Structure 1
Amino acid sequence: MKKFLSLVLALVLVLTMVACGEKQPTNDNQNDTPETVELTVFAAASLTESLTAIGEKYMAENQNVKISFNFDSSGKLLTQIKEGAPCDLFISAAPKQMNALDGTLKEDADKNPDGLDMLVAGSRIDLLENKVALAVPEGNPKNIESFDQLADLLKNGEVMLAIGNSDVPVGQYTQKIFAFYGIDEEAVVSKLTYGSNVKEVTTAVSEGTVDCGIIYASDAYSANLTVAATATAEMCGQVIYPAAVLNTSANQEAAAAFLAYLQGAEASAEFEAVLFTPLSK
């Protein structure tokens, strides 16, 4: 009887060891499953529609990646980054805000006044180009057709214009247009309304609370607004959107992969659909 019990116990022990051995590959397979990566992307407000669509496609193709977007004026986003807000990838609506984080410019007090070095070396690119547009509400009540006409109307106090604040790129491009036409902003301030980002300016035009607004061509398209005129580079310079991975990011590899995707054909088509010009082609 004792021998029989010993044989039974030995058989149970062998079967247990075999069962454990069979389960091991399953654990290995589980370890092969990619870990979920959560990316935080800070992007200019004018990219809201296009980047949201692109992000959804990217997450569908890369199900281990979750992307959270923070859309606002580039100036506000820069301030948040400086204050330590977690950000993996930054896309601004002008070089100025990116320059302020670029360590290669830290000796240039005009471009990088705080001497910050917060970009992953070699990750900065010029991603897109946009255009500054003079948009009018439905019906174009003032029959505005050009920046030349706008300048005359503004100087004579005959038009209400929506523009961006001076600390946001669209407002800074507007200031260059004013300088081009010799417009004294303080002298016409009673005929101006201000937005903290380009979306607020666009809304003012869409709702007809102003006669016109200076926004981006992409925002005019997304809001189905009529563009009366487009500013030339001579008026305000090129409207370049730089992008870079932050060296404070805990997900630099994943952020770089998404930035590479933004330069690809599928993302470029999405940008072009709302009148951006991809610069990676």
Structure 2
Amino acid sequence: MTRSVRTRRPVRLAAAGAVSLLALSACSSSDDSGSAKSDPSASASAPAKVSGDITVFAAASLKESFTALGKEFESAHPGTKVTFSFGGSDSLAASITGGAPADVFASASPKTMKVVTDAGGNATAPATFVRNQLEIATLPGNPDKIASLKDLTNKDLKVVLCDKAVPCGAAAEKALTASKLKLTPVSYEEDVKSALNKVVLKEADAAVVYKTDVKAAGSKVEGVEFPESAGAVNDYPIALLKESRNTGTAEAFIAFVRSAEGQKVLTAAGFLNP
């Protein structure tokens, strides 16, 4: 009899303990669940998913590198699409201030970016992400033996410049003025790609463009460096546009451009570090 009681008592205690533990566990689970639901920071701290389309307005000289960066960005963020509009920075700035829909603006000079930021604060916190330097593009093999900026003043040469309102044209004008040289080109082009193309098509003997454009053209042209270009280096700022309809993805693209991975692509294209 006594043995029977001693045997059953531990069982009853164990059962009671198990019930208590289950009850405590349920309460704890319930409390944690309620805490997670009532804590707004739990969901606020989770990063927003990068998705959707963005439109990037970018200087013509960025065409090759930004096209490559766009593909890499889309690959890293499935469900995104980056559409580019390349052109002269002044024309792009005018389009933005005129109401053209875009999410990001990458300009070839702070001056053209300022046009946008001054127009009702259309762009937010521009940041320089690369710099670019001028170079002379000549016909393959440099048949005219162009070796300096002064050589371009030869009246027998057909030389092309970017329009003075475009950053590459303003930089060329700055270099010529500093050298006290006067050059009358056969044409002023709307952007750097148009100027370079004149040489590629053999419609001009030389053009003052960016090093990056000479590099992108490969064997179609030959580049000639000139020391005066060091005093006319252009900073390239990039900014989120306030009218962006997809700020999360736009900001992610800007961050990607400025990242070590993005800078690697840009420096490989011939751009200088900011």
Fold-level match, TM-score > 0.5? Answer: yes
Q: Find the residue that maps to 1:277 and give its secondary structure.
A: coil
Aligned counterpart for 2:111 among listed residues 78, 96, 116: 96
Residues 35-114 of structure 1: pairs in structure 2 closer than 5 A? 36-102=51-117, 112=118
CA drift of 1:118 comes to 1.1
CA drift of 1:150 comes to 2.6
Task: Provide, for residues 139-183 of structure 1, a one-character-per-residue CA deviation record: whole Å limited to 9, x for no partner.
Answer: 2121001113334x2xxx232111111221111112212212334
Please say if 1:226 is aligned against 2:240.
no
Aligned counterpart for 1:138 among listed residues 137, 140, 148: 140
* AA at the equivalent of 2:91: K
TM-score (norm 2): 0.77
Q: Find the residue that maps to 1:53 and give its secondary structure.
A: helix
Q: Find the residue that maps to 2:225 and give its secondary structure.
A: strand
Aligned counterpart for 1:179 among listed residues 166, 177, 180: 177
- Mind listing any 5+ residue stretches in structure 1 that lack a counterpart? 1-32, 103-111
Cα distance in 2 for partners of 1:227, 1:67 equals 31
Does structure 2 retain, via aligned residues, the 8 Å contact 1:89–1:246? yes
Q: Which residue of 1 aligns with 2:121?
A: 117
* AA at the equivalent of 1:167: A
* AA at the equivalent of 1:145: A
Please say if 1:249 is aligned against 2:247.
no
Cα distance in 2 for partners of 1:50, 1:267 equals 9
- Mind listing any 5+ residue stretches in structure 2 that lack a counterpart? 1-47
CA drift of 1:184 comes to 4.2
CA drift of 1:84 comes to 0.4
TM-score (norm 1): 0.75
| Identical amino acids, percent of aligned pairs | 28
* AA at the equivalent of 1:80: S
Aligned counterpart for 2:157 among listed residues 156, 159, 178: 159
Cα distance in 2 for partners of 1:36, 1:63 equals 7
Q: Which residue of 2 aligns with 1:274?
A: 269
Task: Provide, for residues 93-150 of structure 1, a one-character-per-residue CA deviation record: whole Å limited to 9, x for no partner.
Answer: 1111111122xxxxxxxxx4xx531122xx3110101111111111212100111333
Give the direction of change, closer, same or farther, for the CA distance of 1:231–1:253 in structure 2 (3 Å limit). Answer: farther
Q: Find the residue that maps to 1:101 and give its secondary structure.
A: helix
Larger Rg, first or second structure (1 or 2): 2
Q: Find the residue that maps to 2:209 and give its secondary structure.
A: strand
* AA at the equivalent of 2:187: T
Q: Which residue of 2 aligns with 1:148?
A: 150
Task: Provide, for residues 66-91 of structure 1, a one-character-per-residue CA deviation record: whole Å limited to 9, x for no partner.
Answer: 11000111011011101100110000
Please say if 1:259 is aligned against 2:254.
yes
The total of aligned residue pairs comes to 225
Please say if 1:214 is aligned against 2:229.
no
Does structure 1 retain, via aligned residues, the 8 Å contact 2:126–2:239? yes
RMSD between aligned alpha carbons? Answer: 1.9
